[in-house]
Chains A and B, each alone.
Chain A
Amino acid sequence: MIALLLILVPLLSGIATFFIKKEQAARSWAMLAAVVTLAVSLLGLTVLNKANYLSFHATWLPELGSSFSVGLDGMGQLLCLLTSLAFPLVFLATWRRSYPNGHSFFGWMLLAQAGLMGVFLATDALLFYFFWELALVPMYFICSRWGGERRIPVTFKFFVYTFAGSVIMLVGLLYVYFSAGNSFAMHDFYAVRLTSKEQTFLFWMFFVAFAIKMPIFPFHTWQPDTYEQSPTAATMILSGVMVKMGLLGLLRWLLPVLPISSYAWGDVASGMAVTGIIYASLIAMRQDDMKRLIAYSSIAHIGLMCITIFSEHKTGLQGVMIQMFNHGINIIGLWIIVEIIERQFGTRKMSQLGGIAQKAPVMAIFFVIIAFANIALPLTNGFIGEFLMFNGILNSTVTKYGVLLTVLAGTGIILGAVYTLGMIRKTFYGEVNELTANARDLKWNESLALTIIVAIIIVLGIYPQPVLNLTNEITDTILKNADVLSIKK
């Protein structure tokens, strides 16, 4: 019930939005829909948190062995909460930004939300693939219509790149489908036993698709360009929520389905991810454009989560869960401020900014808090996630290189401090110049959005236990299905 509503509310209201001609009305309508979705998601977390409310099954394509089954587990609940939080925040923060043909902008946004929800909820592989593509299409239209100057080639590349990945994944899905006795159901996928040779091929088919989405080095080159060229509202969704599709894919569709190859090839994947962490951090140090800097920092953060997933350790996976949520919240916060800066000064180049803290102290405080959460300062949400993740990596029993990976990924943490502090210093500190001399502080809608984000950062930083309890069960399930060591014995 809840699961169905989470998809239907944004889907139907999104379609309806296309018929509202006035931009402001469409905006309000979209906001209303997003808030309703948030309410549904919160209901699912509290009052209606019972198994029979959380899942939904209907016959869809019985001849193909596929059904319309959606369900919420702890990971799904958390990611749906993130999705349903992200959209109201995005709409709120961009309340004053005008989009030509606004109604279709908001329509596409809500459709994207429906697609994302579907990806997080699907417990049927074909449905998962269906929503996976459904989420991509609206983003393509948003980026190519409301993006920056180079939007056409950049979004084309983004689309083709991710689409190529998902087609490869489809082939893999079909292979598992046939091996699982012509069934797309998740439990059949989990039950199927494939030889290690088959798993190796399938692993790379799946992993490449997810790696492109996350993105993992060296499949990341679409990402900085796309983040830079997309309208910031879309960037928030892309980086805050969409990259979680790849992580969810790893956790729900790769580790439990292909345990042997995850064990065998996990080190290689981790190697790619850790290379990406250092590589992206070093590049981030050289960026002048704030959007590109945050884009590269996101590659580093996602890389850490990827390593942790392949370390298959209880605390690590719990860390990934909470960090998926945190990363979304924090990076949306960063984008909101970038958006404000860009709208105000017409540039995102740090070399042209400076001294904003003198004129806009409240914005500076918010930015500093969110930036420090992003580099995992204790008592912010980022610390909980990174602490658990690093603990998982170092104490992993499935990889021999736990210590090495921790140290290398840890250098990413240090470099993260370097470029994040550099960004604060260049934009907010120092003397004002003629561009920033008349900087204004936050408007009420921006303050509200940022206050919500900072509240989440602090509360989860001090008392993360509710989230950890929420995902406790699903991490156990994943680990049980992925436990190749005990199968071997």
Chain B
Amino acid sequence: MPINYYIFLAIALFSIGVVGVLTRRNAIIIFMCIELMLNSVNLLLVAFSKMHHLAAGATPTTGIDGQLFVFFIMVVAAAEVSVGLAIIVMMYRNIHSVDVNFLNRLKH
């Protein structure tokens, strides 16, 4: 399968993520959109890693670093999710809402 397909899919996923972050006000959906963007990048990394590995003149380790990054991102994303969800839960307890438009205290 040509690399282009992967790229277009990743772009589509990423754009959905961006638009979701910008337009939705529910914190949980925003959170999911962020995950979508991260995963679109993961997809790309894996796809390129595979592509380089199959290319002529490749050594057994070619493209392996791309997959390494994917693992990193997944670990970081998992950590982020746990912290982020905890924050959202605390937020809901305090103001009984997960609408980000209520949250403009960063101004102060």
Direct contact of A and B (CB under 8 A): no
